[in-house]
Amino acid sequence: MSVVLDSLKDFFGNYMLMSAVVAWLSAQIIKIFTGAFQNRKMSLKTLLFSSGGMPSSHAAAVVALAISAGLSQGFGSPVFAVCGIFSIIVMIDASGVRYETGKQSQVINKMVEELFSGDMDMLNIGLKELVGHTPFQVFMGFLLGIVVAAIMYFVM
């Protein structure tokens, strides 16, 4: 029993992991409100399942991970280097490839809708259009990740 409790304590006491989780969760919660403002409706589905929107939860999580690695291991450490490079790759992907994929999905969905008179069920298609982020959404996730890692540093 003691081993389980010690393991749970280690898990929840892991500053780097908790910073990333709290940053991700914070971004997902913020998305509920930014999505409600933009779409004029609240969606709790957004909390767990959205992959686009404002701010980028991917950017928030990886930046919080990198900053927490720098604060706890040193900004010259190999751990920070790996986390930093990982963060850059994720943010470029979120605002590049995934954003373009979403734009392509919009075009394909519109083409299918026009070709089949709006009967998308005929093809069982309806590609997800919100899969990436604008550079501003990634930047806001980046800032959120820094703030969360700094706050968690003083809390933990």
Give pLDDT tens digits for 40-78.
Answer: 555 565 555 556 678 999 999 999 999 999 999 999 999
Q: Are 23 and 63 in contact (CB under 8 A)?
A: yes
Give the residue extent of every domain in the chain. 2-96+132-155
In the chain, the amino acid numbered 15 is Y
Q: Are 133 and 101 in contact (CB under 8 A)?
A: no
> What's residue 26's pLDDT?
94
User: What Å distances lie between residue 50 and 56, 115, 117, 130, 134, CA to CA?
Assistant: 10, 28, 28, 8, 15
Q: Which residue has the higher pLDDT, 146 or 3?
A: 146
Give pLDDT tens digits for 96-113.
Answer: 665 666 666 666 666 666
Q: Are 104 and 21 in contact (CB under 8 A)?
A: no
Q: Which residue has the tokens 């930014």?
A: 34
